[in-house]
């Protein structure tokens, strides 16, 4: 799968979110509670990001990208986050 991450010098986690997304809020809360720095891209504010996600086959939010491995999870996946980040 092609990389969804953007440039370097970013947090280790990139979270694509959208307004009113309960799973997005839960994911961000989990990351904050575990002191994990992350960058957020709201797909409503950045339609090009939404298009990029659709092109990659993603149809749900959040899309969480762990860098530099580019491992990806969709939805609120605390076990994935724990395994990848803690």
Name the residue with tokens 């720095």. Answer: 37
Is pLDDT above 60 for 45? yes
Structure tokens at 70: 């580019």
Dump pLDDT digits (tens) for 49-75. 999 999 999 999 999 999 888 999 999
Nearest to 63 by CA among 78, 41, 83: 41
Q: Is the pLDDT of residue 3 over 60?
A: no
pLDDT: is 57 or 5 the higher one? 57
pLDDT, tens digit, for every residue of 12-41?
899 999 999 999 999 999 999 999 999 999
């Amino acid at each position: 799968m092609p990389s969804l991450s953007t440039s370097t010098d970013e947090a280790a986690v990139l979270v694509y979110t959208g307004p009113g997304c309960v799973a997005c809020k839960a994911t961000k809360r989990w990351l904050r509670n575990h002191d994990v720095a992350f960058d957020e891209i709201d797909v409503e504010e950045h339609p090009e990001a939404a298009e990029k996600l659709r092109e990659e086959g993603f149809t749900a939010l959040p899309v969480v990208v762990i860098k530099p491995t580019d491992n990806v999870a969709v939805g609120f996946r605390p076990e994935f986050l724990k395994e990848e980040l803690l």
